[in-house]
Amino acid sequence: MSEPSHTEPTNAWARFGWLMGGIWLVFLYFPATALLRSEGPVLAVAVGWFGVAAFAATYLTGFIVGMRAPHGRERPATVWLFVAAIASAALTIPAIGWGVTSFTPFLMSYASYLLNRPTHWVANTAGPALIVFEIATAQARGDVEPWPLLWITVMIAAVNTINSWLIARSTAADELRVELATSEGREAVARDVHDLLGHSLTVVKLKAELASRLLERDPAAARAELDEIVRLTGEAIDGVRGTVTGVRSEGLAEQLAATADALATAGVALEVRGSASSLSPAQAIPAAWILREATTNILRHADASRAVVSISPGTLSISDNGRGLAPDPGLGGDAGTPAAGTHTAGAQSTRATGHGLRGMSERAAEAGAELRVTGALGHGTKVSLTW
């Protein structure tokens, strides 16, 4: 099984967002043209070309590094690359003078998408203001007034502000979805622990009272009841540990690793198709819980030798080649499967796992997904989660 790298970007924006910075590099045409027309010293022009090349390298590297950080939370390296880009642009001043302002749109966009909110406002206000000053002093210097550059910077400032707002809203919404999914998951786990301990402790209390009464007149029966108490408390501890492990799990990728280890211990071969990063963070939380519960069912009831976990955008499924079960129609099972009342080993497994399947169905519904359980006696079981 191949495990996803923890350093690998987990979404398309992080992996390919730098292309946006790469596309903007075509506008280096303007400082490059100014250098070709420059009448400055040869050394100044050579330094200017070096500055353009260094600017392109630092600008693109900044996008590659910065897109891997959450929007509005710059990394230290991104800040230093921004400073390096400004310094690189400044190297062209001896050769092209005020033509250096053609780098302004680049720096405005860099600040908007890779740095924090205050820096966005400073850069996207100072950029147009700098061009206005250049226009106001152009006649005194005998230069052409760069009105087109002013319109470009004003337009870019507006676009950057709108895009930054939309990205921030999208990021906040995704964080809220993750928080809600986590909160709902914790509430469900709390309910499961309460139900588990409530039942187990009630039975233990009754058996302890019975053992106390039998202790003098029937020591053997009292010992049997104490042994049963030990068994019940052991099962309760295992159940609580399993539930708490689900709470502590960091995500779907970690649960995939835990599933592989658990199945390997039981001699079940696991094949993973796809990557945990195919699901959004909000989807991965309930998917991890359902994968854990499905793994538990395989270990306890399936008697399988092989299992397959498939993950694609909006979908997770786990199937096995075990004894199968007769799905409950209320859980989305196939209509033509044998009834759960059939007196076979598979039907017994169905009754044993019914509460677990219903719990998974409730979790899926809370996450806005559909849970489907398909299978037939002797032909394995498949649990599918689809958004």
Same domain for 260 and 381?
yes
pLDDT tens per residue, range 57-116: 999 998 888 776 665 566 788 899 999 999 999 999 999 999 999 999 999 989 888 888
How many CB atoms are located within 10 Å of the residue 190 CB?
12
* CATH number for the domain harbouring residue 318: 3.30.565.10
State how far Cα 170 lies from the chain centre.
Answer: 14
pLDDT tens per residue, range 238-248: 766 666 655 44
Instruction: Look at residue 329 and tell me whether its pLDDT is greater than 50.
Output: no
Q: 273 forms bridges with which residues in the sheet?
A: 310
The answer to the question of residue 312 being in a domain is: yes
The answer to the question of residue 337 being in a domain is: yes
Domain count, the chain: 2
* Domain region containing 85: 12-145
The answer to the question of residue 286 being in a domain is: yes
Angle subtended at Cα 297 by Cα 292 and Cα 302, rounded to the nearest 5 degrees:
135
Q: What is the pTM of this model?
A: 0.48
Domain end point (choices 115, 145, 175): 145
Same domain for 135 and 255?
no
Angle subtended at Cα 94 by Cα 137 and Cα 113, rounded to the nearest 5 degrees:
75
Domain end point (choices 129, 145, 161): 145
Instruction: Look at residue 203 and tell me whether its pLDDT is greater than 60.
Output: yes
The answer to the question of residue 225 being in a domain is: no
The answer to the question of residue 304 being in a domain is: yes
With a CB cutoff of 8 Å and minimum separation 6, the contacts of 63 are: 17, 18, 20, 21, 22, 110, 113, 114
The answer to the question of residue 386 being in a domain is: yes
The answer to the question of residue 226 being in a domain is: no
| pLDDT for the residue numbered 306 | 93
The answer to the question of residue 93 being in a domain is: yes
**Residue 155 pLDDT level (bands cut at 50, 70, 90):** very high
How many CB atoms are located within 10 Å of the residue 199 CB?
13
| pLDDT for the residue numbered 318 | 94
Mean pLDDT of 282-308: 86
Same domain for 256 and 385?
yes
Q: 262 forms bridges with which residues in the sheet?
A: none
Angle subtended at Cα 183 by Cα 283 and Cα 250, rounded to the nearest 5 degrees:
60
Domain end point (choices 109, 127, 145): 145
Higher pLDDT, 121 or 12: 121
| pLDDT for the residue numbered 300 | 79
Instruction: Look at residue 175 and tell me whether its pLDDT is greater than 80.
Output: no
pLDDT tens per residue, range 13-65: 556 666 767 777 888 988 999 999 999 999 999 999 999 999 999 999 988 88
Same domain for 374 and 260?
yes
